Amino acid sequence: MSNSSLLVVGSLAYDQIESPYGSVERTLGGSGNYFSLAASLFTPPRVVGVVGDDYDPKDWDLLAKREVDLSGVQKVPGKTFFWSGSYVKNLNEAETKETQLNVFAQFNPTIPAKFADSKFVFLANIDPNLQLKVLENVQCPILTGLDTMNLWIHSQRAALEKVIPKVNVVMMNELEAKLLTGIDNAVGSAAKISEMGPKIVVIKRGEFGFLCYQKGDGYFSLPVLPVKKVMDPTGAGDSFAGGFWGYLAKLGKEPDFQDVRRACVVGNLVASFTIREFGTIALQNLKLQDLSAAYQDFQKVIQFPALNF
């Protein structure tokens, strides 16, 4: 058993995307795919999810050749989750044109027995009742975390309030953190979510970076790496999560706040690559040395000298 074992439960999808820079008809999408491609820069995750019988073998191979463990992916009759969105009016916020849940509507994750020893567990944005069920099927993890969205905050608040105290890390978008807590301020929201139980809260701020809070250690906040041309922001948040969890899983120990800081920067930078091309294209081509170079560039972008008065 490796202490680097990383489990992710999330959606596997096809996306149709329009942006000011063009469009793609049917590109690989879903939190599970973005997460896995990002995380596999560090450690190949074990994926639990569902696809339809229209899932392209090439897409299967793409993850398999990065040593992602797909034995927890159910392939069932029907069509794969499909999402269509446009960034033509606003590059920073998708306008959803169509959502076909398809086989994802009945998704009920089954954790293979051999995944029960996973040490790092990330529950991407799915029904919090299912997140609870997954957690019950993992023994002695080192670090667990979840993402969520406005749909569950509105419709499954009780389940969400039950699962949040059971994880170590909550990662969510700023608007959703404000919605969950009723606090119109990311700083206050992060502290409030932490009061529910999780030691670490990461508020994702889209084009503005992130704010991280660790109980007892305080805040860590940074903007995004300046990128001149954002082509398609789809998957940025899941890429952040993949980089964050992949990095921490590779460390293979309970992270201290310095580790968490590095993980946030890694996630932030992986996302900065994702958005430069449509879908998962940039992620597929990303190399660890590119990320390492961006890490050093980013340190230069945000550094400032001591005051001289």
Contacting positions for a second copy (CB under 8 A): 20, 42, 90-91, 184-188, 191, 205, 207-209, 211, 218-224, 226-230, 247, 250, 258, 261-262, 264-266, 288, 292, 295, 299, 301-309
- Residue 306 CB, shortest distance to a second copy, in Å, is 8
Which of residues 135 and 186 has its CB atom nearest to a second copy in the complex? Answer: 186
- Phi then psi for residue 76, to 5 deg, are -125, 160
Which of residues 8 and 225 has its CB atom nearest to a second copy in the complex? Answer: 225
Please state, in angstroms and rounded to a whole number, the distance separating the CA atoms of residues 46 and 214: 27
- Residue 48 CB, shortest distance to a second copy, in Å, is 26
- Residue 195 CB, shortest distance to a second copy, in Å, is 13
Pull the structure tokens for residue 269: 């930078």
DSSP string, 46-94: EEEEEE-TT--HHHHHHHHTTT-EEEEEEE-SS--EEEEEE-SS-TTS-
Which of residues 164 and 222 has its CB atom nearest to a second copy in the complex? Answer: 222
Lay out the sheet containing 143-146: strands in order across: 69-75, 46-51, 6-9, 120-123, 143-146, 169-173, 200-204, 210-214, 218-222
Which of residues 215 and 261 has its CB atom nearest to a second copy in the complex? Answer: 261
- Residue 87 CB, shortest distance to a second copy, in Å, is 10
Which of residues 81 and 210 has its CB atom nearest to a second copy in the complex? Answer: 210
- Residue 219 CB, shortest distance to a second copy, in Å, is 4
- Residue 235 CB, shortest distance to a second copy, in Å, is 18
DSSP 199: S
DSSP string, 140-158: S-SEEEE---HHHHHH-HH
DSSP string, 266-301: HHHHHHHHHTTSSTTHHHHH--HHHHHHHHHHHHHH
Which of residues 78 and 206 has its CB atom nearest to a second copy in the complex? Answer: 206
Q: Which helix (H) or strand (E) holds 263?
A: helix 257-274
Which of residues 82 and 213 has its CB atom nearest to a second copy in the complex? Answer: 213
- Residue 180 CB, shortest distance to a second copy, in Å, is 17
Please state, in angstroms and rounded to a whole number, the distance separating the CA atoms of residues 187 and 219: 8
